[in-house]
Chains A and B, each alone.
Chain A
């Protein structure tokens, strides 16, 4: 008997290959895509109510985007060779496209949109600042210091175009991550054409929840009055997105259960044993049904402001836990059962190892450090207050 193994695993399957860090990767890219799509609500779809979160959402997306490749890099057996993915990409590999999708999204969409959005602020700060901060803002102007009304109109038009391009790019970024898993025919837990679309909607759900929480946290920290109309609108969109996400996931579940192919018995047993806590309790009950009920209640009844805030904070926090659990269940769950469908292995997270809990915690804290720096460098408040 091999410790941690029940039934029969192919001998090379006992050890899990994709660890906690690979759980973080879709989680983080999902937050990026979701935050960006929330930002585009204001910019492209003219949902004026969410304007106070526009800049915040962009900075959130950038903070997480900068960290997104790190878990992958840390996971590689030979991280020093990772540039080969750019230099000699294997065209038939879904993973080979990661670098290009990432660069496109980071450079063409996010950085450009943020720069255009902040350009007039940057120029002003370069002119009024002093010392090192003046130099930093001067560098950030990239030599473009014309902030005449005509120039700002151009900024706005180009920014709009970038956002329009950004929406399908955000869809591509996370749909693509789903495809990495969904296209593995050897693994029935992953192999479904629904995977990209499930990843996409779960990304939107987590990104919207994260921005809502960050908005509430920053208003409290900055002692700025919270815009309840904005909060209610975001919560409404979160509810809609979550309903679609949950529907898609349930569709997948119902389809698997009804079809009951040769893998079903094995996967069903796994859900009822090894994944019971993370899937049924954390993901479905705590991370989906409770937040969905809280959000649904707010669509049906009007609660007092203070109560709404508590409900939103609870719903969004649980949503983030639920989506993390979903990523865990996909990545780790997909490796707990044998491809022989005759056995199960166990995953134990180590603490201070290259792919252990400590680096994972640090990697999850890093975006918040970057966020604080970005908010300091590019304050998101001026414009919203001016409005």
Chain B
């Protein structure tokens, strides 16, 4: 097709007018705009975990690892198996973070349950407090993130996290952690771990959404966060959390 000088001026002129009124590239190019633009200020993300529903299959760990390219030997999420005998220290294990689930327990007489773990996306995050350059931060929608183009790799945040959720990425040499699948949830999807949980033990929740089932969940159940004495305002709530869990 031959493009005349007149065509060029006509199309160029239209583009200029649209751009000057703040039109998006999609409008300019004729592509359909997103049905609902994601506004960070409208959300405050967290997670609820039903301890009794977790079967320790490790689906969540595998899904997270695959979705986020988590390096081998490090974990953005993992599952622990607690086996508690009366009056004794709990016996806890998490073989390879439960990537392949758990072997059958040899002790049927113990109180036994699984505890999925991930970053608690604390509102008062000790990790965010200590970062010397502000490379880790709480986003307006409540997710603790790391800017890997800015992180020094000093690992002060790893020391400050009470839950062991951070690690130094062996290839990037910057700190890495759970992002609550930020790339998915901002597109209206749930996290990889929640999507792949066969029992619905973990659910992504939005505390700012009045219709979110989290409000009923918190009202109707006995819930607890990990290490509440750390006063981090953690946003991962556990239903029926046993006192032995650390």
Most chain B CB atoms below 10 A, which of A89, A96, A342: A342
- A95 with B132: CB separation less than 8 A: yes
Residue A10 CB within 8 A of the other chain = yes
Contacts of B117 in A (CB 8 A): 10
Residue of B at shortest CB range from A80? Answer: B152
- Mostly, the B contact residues are loop
Instruction: Provide the bound-state CA to CA distance between A98 and B97, in Å.
Output: 36
**Chain A: minimal CB distance from B139 (Å):** 16
Instruction: Provide the bound-state CA to CA distance between A307 and B32, in Å.
Output: 91
- B163 with A10: CB separation less than 8 A: yes
- Mostly, the A contact residues are loop
Instruction: Provide the bound-state CA to CA distance between A189 and B131, in Å.
Output: 20
Contacts of A260 in B (CB 8 A): none
- A184 with B132: CB separation less than 8 A: no
Instruction: Provide the bound-state CA to CA distance between A187 and B173, in Å.
Output: 23
- A8 with B230: CB separation less than 8 A: no
Take A77-B151, A339-B163, A342-B246 as given contacts and tell me if A8 and B94 are in contact as well, using a CB distance cutoff of 8 Å: yes
Chain B residues with a Cβ closer than 8 Å to the other chain, count: 45
Residues of chain A in range 1-42 having any CB-CB distance to chain B below 8 Å: 8-13, 15, 17-18
Tell me which of A72, A94, A341 contacts B130 (CB under 8 A): A94
Residue of A at shortest CB range from B98? Answer: A11
- B160 with A12: CB separation less than 8 A: no
Residue B237 CB within 8 A of the other chain = no
Chain A residues with a Cβ closer than 8 Å to the other chain, count: 40
Instruction: Provide the bound-state CA to CA distance between A79 and B163, in Å.
Output: 27
Residue B16 CB within 8 A of the other chain = no
- A12 with B74: CB separation less than 8 A: yes
Residue A78 CB within 8 A of the other chain = yes
- A76 with B153: CB separation less than 8 A: yes
**Chain A: minimal CB distance from B187 (Å):** 28
- B152 with A78: CB separation less than 8 A: yes
Residue B159 CB within 8 A of the other chain = yes
Instruction: Provide the bound-state CA to CA distance between A92 and B89, in Å.
Output: 37
Residue A257 CB within 8 A of the other chain = no
Residue A340 CB within 8 A of the other chain = yes
Contacts of B172 in A (CB 8 A): 77
Can you offer 26 A-B residue contacts whose CB atoms are under 8 A? A8-B91, A8-B94, A10-B163, A11-B94, A12-B75, A12-B165, A12-B167, A17-B158, A75-B154, A76-B153, A77-B152, A77-B153, A78-B152, A78-B174, A79-B152, A84-B133, A92-B130, A93-B130, A93-B131, A93-B132, A93-B134, A185-B230, A187-B159, A334-B159, A338-B164, A340-B164
Point out residues on A near B: beta carbons under 8 Å.
Answer: 8-13, 15, 17-18, 72, 75-79, 81-82, 84-85, 88-90, 92-96, 98, 180, 184-187, 334-335, 338-342
The 7 closest A-B pairs by CB, nearest first: A77-B153, A10-B164, A77-B173, A186-B162, A90-B134, A96-B132, A340-B246
